[in-house]
Structure 1
Amino acid sequence: MGSCKNQEVEQAKCAWVQGPIIVGAGPSGLAVAACLSEHGVPSVILERSDCIASLWQYRTYDRLKLHLPKHFCQLPLMGFPENFPKYPTKYQFISYMESYASHFSIQPRFNQTVQSAKFDSSSGFWTVQSQDFEYISRWIIVATGENAEPVIPKISGMDKFHGPVIHTSVYKSGSDYKNKRVLVIGCGNSGMEVSLDLCRHNALPHMVARNTVHVLPREMFGFSTFGLAMALLKWIPLRLVDKFLLLVSNFILGNTDQLGIRRPKSGPLELKNATGKTPVLDVGALSQIRSGKIKVTEGVKEITRNGAKFMDGQEKEFDHIILATGYKSNVPTWLKDCDFFAKNGMPKMPFPNGWNGENGLYTVGFTRRGLLGTSSDAIKIARDIADQWRTAKDCRNYCNSHMFVLKNS
């Protein structure tokens, strides 16, 4: 910490941060910064990209809409505009987050890729190192989320394929795939929606459904399926709610096993709680599967130069391959000597206790419960830090008089 003092700060490029350092300027980072500001606690957000919500701005396809009604997806202290539809589009959600940041005067430090963050037990402070700057604080809030990096599976022969292979993180629209044969690997929400988008642009999608997955209607009886499930859980045990959801889903959607999409043995909510695996909310893909416009295949054995060999012995030719294989946390690559996170980059403590670590470490956006979980964590974190903030005046006064203090929030 001595290198940060007074006139040496410009050469050292090191700053003491009043309040916590927040890593990530997505919805989670913005939510916790807003909640902190309501308590009068400043913070500094470090963001590797050049904008807020970079996953939404750069890594989502054009037709994306929120899968849940907007009241389940709003951040703390500020709801969506009343004129927004029930399921806002990607662009409406981005505009909401930009308005949110502006309303709470949140100004992240962009193009700051955190390379390491480490707690110094001798001083009691966190040191966070970006590519060109060092930040020091009593608190660090990990807000990089569950979806920081694309998952790229290792499939035999992938390097031999003659055509383009992309992840859904760079897919924008099916307009470039007209009359093209496209292999979509993955049958989650992204795989289903990309296949549907391809279909609507007259492409010829084949979707690989290697794993089991629950597909539920987005709405039941005019209500959001998610909202209905949340309401029932207040009165009925989870397993009974699962049975209800599956009964109604089979009535509305039919038996998905007959379409090549096998359901897991565990119910959708039970599976979500245990593994974080989200059910697919159908927005039209199943009808295209029934009509034969989206072909479903069981699993890829090997990629060939011109296509793929499948587990059932068939071989087909394709022009493009799209990996709808999801995302993962990147926390283990930069958070050093920390036992709070598992190897998969998720907190070891399950919800609702995974937000609070040791030595001033907090996490937001790792609940596997979407933006509702994010809001809950952000509120708890802000209260906890605010309680400490009010008792730390002496430390702050010392730092203000002896160090270069970074005050922007």
Structure 2
Amino acid sequence: MTTEFSIRDVVVIGGGLSGLTAAHALKLRGIDTLILEKENDVGMPWARRHPQLTLNTHRDLSSLPGLKYPVGTGAFPKRDSVVAHLRDFREKHGFDIQCGVEVFSCRKVDGHFVIETNAGIRRSRHLIVASGRDAFVCMPKWKGLDTFKGRVVHAADFGDAMDYTGKSVLVIGGGNSGFDVLNHLSRVKTGQVWLSLRRPPGLLPKRLGRFAVHRLSPIMAKLPTSYVDKLIGWTQQIAFGDLTRYGFPAGPSDAATRLARDNIAIAVDDGAIAGVKRGQILVVPEVVAFSGTTVTLADRRTLEPDVVIAAVGYSSSLTRVLGPLGVVGENGSQSGVVELDKSTVEGLWFVGMKPSLTSYFVEARREAKSIAFSVAAMLANERSTKQ
């Protein structure tokens, strides 16, 4: 039996940091807002991640509007601190959140959105998508992967780093999640660890001396992208020296360009490079095939890891959810060159779907403020027209 509900001013898909930030900006303007969260509680995607998980963004740039972390929280908040922060924010503002509600698809009928969920149909005048970029893990179809006798996991299922004690591990991918895994493995007495790379990573140290490098990100965000590319390259050189000496591929310093153009987040080193320099982690070429107990690399070398960790990214749920609206390409990204907080469909908005130099928290606040201003103006105009 289908359950119908009255038309809300705004429905937000996703009750994570972006959805909560959007709801807060709308609440400040007195706008009726409903949040639909597929999990049974706020913060569950964070709570399921490995226990060592720590933000790469500084505490001062990683908080929700008007709420600070408790005294004693580290400069880079840990998993449980982030979960508590999200839940404290929810309790403080009393948002209308329906948990356990998964959105299947959205379409627009007679000027409003019809949102099909596992709990019936919801309707709204405006729809904000804040479901994140990592709804599903990506696992490439490497040749012979199904024949591999070792363990293969995605970085999302990394688990406790101590479980890798004494084991040889191949990490495929030098992005943000790849270096997160390597940072934690570098603190464990593993067997040999290999890092498979196709291209040089965009990489920054978490600290230079005692200074948290991320605190400079608001300044860097105001500079031209080409300048930031150079600054990141210089910082890499100062922090790590010539990484090609350790097998890293040579290539241009274009981390900021790739962030802006391809939405590829900049990785952060917090121990991995030290592991490389002492030989715990060896950098190797791209993986081309699996067979039995072996993994073949692009240079025809073979490895026999106990565990393979695929740190090869995630995909969003946009294709499935927004397909009927015709604004999403085959790869899960929006079709056409459009801003993520705007859309070719009037009343459809996006928050938190794009990484930035600062943090998802800072970017979500900027996007949410802009959207709330626009939504308030549109609703006021609609109501004045009807009078």
Question: TM-score, normalization: structure 1?
Answer: 0.86
- Deviation at residue 143 of structure 1 after TM alignment: 0.7
Counterpart CA distance in 2 for 1:245 and 1:166 is: 31
- Is contact 1:16-1:135 (8 Å) kept? yes
Match of 1:244 among 220, 231, 244: 231
Listed as ranges, the matches of 1:284-295 within 5 Å are 284-295=271-282
Counterpart CA distance in 1 for 2:250 and 2:14 is: 35
- Deviation at residue 80 of structure 1 after TM alignment: 3.1
- Deviation at residue 348 of structure 1 after TM alignment: 4.6
Counterpart CA distance in 2 for 1:266 and 1:287 is: 21
Aligned in 2, Cα 1:346/1:190: closer, same or farther, shift over 3 Å? same
Tell me the number of residue pairs that the alignment of Structure 1 and Structure 2 aligns.
382
Match of 1:15 in 2: 5
Letter in structure 2 aligned against 1:117 = C
- Deviation at residue 223 of structure 1 after TM alignment: 4.0
SS class of match (1:169)? helix
Match of 1:113 in 2: 102
Q: Which consecutive residues of structure 2, in runs of 5 or more, have no partner in the other structure?
A: none
SS class of match (1:337)? helix
Aligned in 2, Cα 1:188/1:237: closer, same or farther, shift over 3 Å? closer
Counterpart CA distance in 2 for 1:55 and 1:151 is: 16
1:155 is aligned to 2:134: no
Q: Which has the larger radius of gyration?
A: 1
Letter in structure 2 aligned against 1:299 = E
Name which of structure 1's ranges 260-269 and 129-138 shifts more when overlaid on structure 2: 260-269
- Deviation at residue 393 of structure 1 after TM alignment: 5.2
CA offsets per residue over residues 290-316 of structure 1, 9 Å max, x none?
Answer: 101112211112112113111222222
- Deviation at residue 220 of structure 1 after TM alignment: 4.0
1:49 is aligned to 2:39: yes
SS class of match (1:301)? strand
Match of 2:294 among 307, 319, 322: 307
Counterpart CA distance in 2 for 1:272 and 1:36 is: 28
Aligned in 2, Cα 1:83/1:389: closer, same or farther, shift over 3 Å? farther
Match of 1:27 in 2: 17
Name which of structure 1's ranges 11-20 and 285-294 shifts more when overlaid on structure 2: 11-20
Letter in structure 2 aligned against 1:53 = G
Match of 1:216 in 2: 204
Aligned in 2, Cα 1:277/1:13: closer, same or farther, shift over 3 Å? same
- Is contact 1:213-1:263 (8 Å) kept? no
CA offsets per residue over residues 195-243 of structure 1, 9 Å max, x none?
Answer: 2323423222222112331222223465443432532564x54423432
Aligned in 2, Cα 1:241/1:23: closer, same or farther, shift over 3 Å? closer
Aligned in 2, Cα 1:183/1:221: closer, same or farther, shift over 3 Å? closer
Match of 1:261 in 2: 248
Match of 1:91 among 66, 80, 83: 80
Match of 1:372 among 362, 372, 375: 362
Q: Please give the root-mean-square deviation of Cα atoms over the aligned residues, in Å.
A: 2.4
SS class of match (2:99)? coil
Match of 1:404 in 2: none
1:317 is aligned to 2:307: no
Match of 1:356 among 314, 325, 342: 342
Letter in structure 1 aligned against 2:26 = L
Letter in structure 1 aligned against 2:232 = L
- Is contact 2:233-2:253 (8 Å) kept? no
SS class of match (1:373)? helix
- Is contact 1:22-1:141 (8 Å) kept? yes
- Deviation at residue 190 of structure 1 after TM alignment: 1.7
Letter in structure 1 aligned against 2:303 = K
Name which of structure 1's ranges 277-286 and 388-397 shifts more when overlaid on structure 2: 388-397
Counterpart CA distance in 1 for 2:278 and 2:13 is: 46
- Is contact 1:17-1:44 (8 Å) kept? no
Counterpart CA distance in 1 for 2:380 and 2:80 is: 39
Residue identity over aligned pairs, in percent, reads 24
Q: Which consecutive residues of structure 1, in runs of 5 or more, have no partner in the other structure?
A: 1-10, 398-409
1:72 is aligned to 2:61: yes
Counterpart CA distance in 2 for 1:220 and 1:146 is: 30
